[in-house]
A = this chain, B = another copy of it.
């Protein structure tokens, strides 16, 4: 979130660094009842909760689960993470015992254009510079485990290729946690006999790794290892799949991930405990923090607030149809985040004109929010709309949003946690508690496990995106059929498409109709246990802009500056 939101004179990193941090062992003891011996500290303000302790919680009852999602993202900014942090602080502010679960930010984009992913203003998790850089090393562990498998594949081919891997059909790329477009497509193993057999290869950013998705969906270390073994890394000339297990790679990969799988505990600016753990892409993967963090948090707090990636069409749908389906989670309430600025953009206003009142555009842009509200209801979940307040919001605009939401059967509440911390979101917190107390949530998955794979894609396209249909070439449909025959038919599908629109056209704001969803390509994540349907161009390795953030990042007097 930009520091200019409220003309706040301090940047996020300045607020974070000026905060009075409490020792994480004290936070854990006092707020969650976790003794020091059940924590592995990483410095004084970060800790991992030991997996033995996590296991010991199995018999305890679960708290209530609140999902924060949003309208379709726009360049105006919505503030989903800020709301997740602010709402949890607010729940504590009104006297509840609440904690939150977020995704870990990727290091690479910190040097590109993206701001940090630790909230903003007075609704942040801290220490933000640690969280946005190496944190507790989880992503480095995932990178290492992924690339160990890559090295073992080319090494197997080098030493005689007894498994008969077709080097044209290696499905496993390499990863790096860096925005480096030069690595998207490479030819490797050049330079002669000693370096192997040249072939086309490439790198994705670490968050796009299937190891990341597996890491976030695995119940425990044993489940993690089993899933790592299931990864399909290549095919033979006869199209027979070769798995990581065939290279006996999964044990060593699990060894590299042994410490990483334990949830990371930090705190908000208000001392609220927060798990920040795992961070898969929200396009080719499901885009939520780890199952281990969410299930552990539910044992530790009465209210657990978590967020899903992108807008509710992509993020909430995957949270429910992939993560909840597999981990047995049942949300009790959904918070849909919007801003008046962003709704005006959905109504056709340009970014430079957002400070002017425009009720007509706002009303038009409400169509986007309306569709997300309807979608959440389809999942059987009650919702509240949380509007992040900006200083340019006018009374008439606020009144319009509230009135329109009321007509949709959902309450819209203004939230000002960015400037005020938890107190600023107290009304949202009260509304959330009221909804949960009413016990209306009754989770319905969108499709059953045994629906054919392409029918699953079609169901999401029609029910959630409101497309007329989903389309695909015969080769794509044949591939899905083949996977069904191989026993993968019961997997959920994960749709990778632009997050900026319900359609596959990022410029189609609001609530577009009269389009279809073309499935260009399908990929099998046999370890993560979902089938990815790629609709449109999806970038799995970002590039850096002309003047990257790295240009401003520096260390002065032992402190990091310029990170935002």
Contact = CB atoms under 8 A, between A and B. Distances in A.
Interface residues of A, number: 75
Nearest to A55: B558
Interface in A528-564: 543-544, 546, 548, 550-551, 553-555, 558, 560, 562-563
B147 A180 contact: yes
A42 interface: yes
Interface centre among A151, A256, A553 (most CB of B within 10 A): A151
A203 to B, nearest CB: 9
Interface string A232-276: 000000000000000011011011101100000000000000000
A33 interface: no
A178 B544 contact: no
A554 B191 contact: no
A184 interface: yes
Contacts of A5: none
Nearest to A107: B144
A399 interface: no
A256 B176 CA distance: 15
B551 A248 contact: yes
Contacts of A194: 181, 543
Contacts of A248: 550-551
A151 B134 contact: no
A190 B183 CA distance: 8
B555 A225 contact: yes
B107 A158 contact: no
Nearest to A546: B159
Given A134-B137, A182-B201, A186-B190, A111 B551 contact: no
Contact of A187 (B134, B144, B151, B187): B187
A190 B179 contact: no
Given A40-B44, A137-B140, A258-B555, A189 B195 contact: no
A406 B287 CA distance: 69
A181 B152 contact: no
Given A144-B134, A558-B221, A544 B185 contact: no
Contact of A254 (B130, B546, B555): B555
A188 interface: yes
A413 interface: no
Given A178-B151, A181-B158, A548-B152, A52 B187 contact: no
A191 B185 contact: yes
A41 interface: yes
Interface in A149-185: 150-152, 154-155, 158-160, 174, 176-185
Nearest to A539: B194
A49 to B, nearest CB: 12
Contacts of A558: 51-52, 221, 258
B190 A187 contact: yes
A202 to B, nearest CB: 8
A279 to B, nearest CB: 16
Nearest to A549: B252
A135 B544 CA distance: 30
A176 to B, nearest CB: 6
B251 A553 contact: yes
A560 B255 contact: yes
B178 A148 contact: yes
A143 B182 CA distance: 17
Contact of A185 (B143, B152, B158, B190): B190
Contacts of A182: 150-151, 154, 158, 188-189, 195-196, 201
A133 B195 contact: no
Contact of A133 (B143, B180, B256): B256
Contact of A134 (B176, B177, B259, B544): B259
A72 B130 CA distance: 43
A68 interface: no
Interface in A478-534: none
B255 A133 contact: yes
Interface string A121-147: 000000001100110010011011001
A212 to B, nearest CB: 16
Contact of A188 (B42, B130, B183, B555): B183
A59 interface: no
A95 interface: no
Contacts of A107: 144
B553 A252 contact: yes
A328 interface: no
A144 B254 CA distance: 22
A562 B560 CA distance: 40
17 contacts: A41-B43, A41-B44, A134-B144, A147-B176, A154-B181, A155-B548, A158-B182, A176-B176, A181-B194, A182-B189, A182-B195, A186-B190, A187-B187, A187-B190, A221-B558, A248-B551, A252-B550
**What 8 A-B pairs come out closest when comparing CB atoms?**
A251-B554, A185-B191, A140-B140, A154-B182, A252-B550, A151-B180, A252-B553, A185-B190
Given A150-B182, A258-B560, 8 more contacts: A41-B41, A107-B144, A158-B182, A181-B189, A221-B558, A251-B562, A252-B551, A255-B555
